Amino acid sequence: MSLPSAPAALGPGEERLTEGQTLVVDGLSLHVRVSARRARLGLTVERDASLTLRTPTECSLHRAEKFVRDNRRWIDSKLMLSEERRQLHPVRSLYDGEIHRYLGRDYKLLLVDGPVGEEDDGHDERGRSHVPVRLVAGRLRLSRSVAADPQQARKAIAAWYSRAGQRWVQGRLQPWAARMGVAEPAVEVRDLGHRWGTYRTGPDGSGRVALHWAVFQLPIHLIDYVIAHELAHIRVAGHGPDYWRLLGRALPECQGLKVELDELGRRVWMGDVRALRSAGTSPESPHRRPRSYSGRE
């Protein structure tokens, strides 16, 4: 959730904000991100309810504090909405028959005692044939010994989503990049904390899009929206009017997709695993809503 940006300026003798510093304003803690590509101040309430203040290189402390105070009502309303939404992310229990989603489709978990089998290529991206998670014949097969350790199981399933997503996304960026008139950047799938995707420019000027592994639980049209959303940042930093105009030209239904992602995205599994007394045992209430959300990475 991003606030429309405001101009920033640095007067003579004023203190300048620096990349990575923490700014505290009236009890609010904000992580400062400085970018030479920006000309205006911007504020984002992340999905974990943390606050990110995005500034150009010449932004004074006074200007930033005033910007935050002027928009305190907006911040409070978005923090309240974030708290309501974060309670909906499911917690997995890893029992036989539990539903896991990939590209918007449901697949039942199958715990196995021996090898989990081979997917189409039979190997992961490093050529290893023995990995603890596979999607085989419509079932997501997980090693029972791995399922017995919640942290190990979480890591293994996230790694499977990363491998599967990396394979699926190859070539997916080019059509959207062409629509926006930008070069197709490199893409990687990994854990991004509380962000669906990011676009970063490296020291050599080359860009890279990163997508969260959890994105690949969403339907394909929403994955495409996340891809297009990040590619638009090659041309426009922030989420001001110019950004939405660019994205709207490439994807006219972007506003409706944004609403759909906000609604469906809060029900996506982000990696929380409930510890069970014995792996594969169905909990008494497998579909109950978790009391709290403990985060992703």
CB 107 within 8 A of CB 138: yes
CB 113 within 8 A of CB 146: no
pLDDT at 16 over 70: yes
Q: What is the pLDDT of residue 84?
A: 66
Give whole-number Cα distances, 38 to 23, 43, 59, 96, 193, in Å. 19, 12, 10, 50, 23
Mean pLDDT value across residues 38-51: 83
pLDDT category of residue 49 using cuts at 50, 70 and 90 = confident
pLDDT category of residue 85 using cuts at 50, 70 and 90 = low
Residues in the chain: 297
Phi-psi region of 192 (alpha: psi -120 to 50; beta: other; left: phi over 0): alpha
3-state secondary structure (DSSP) of residue 53: strand
pLDDT digits (tens, 9 = 90+) for 252-275: 999 999 999 988 888 899 988 886
pLDDT at 203 over 70: yes
Q: What is the pLDDT of residue 291?
A: 30
DSSP bridge partners of 159: none
What six digits make up the tokens of 277? 């007394």
Of the segments 36-45, 60-69, 73-82, 195-204, which one has the largest average pLDDT value? 60-69
* pLDDT, averaged across the chain: 82
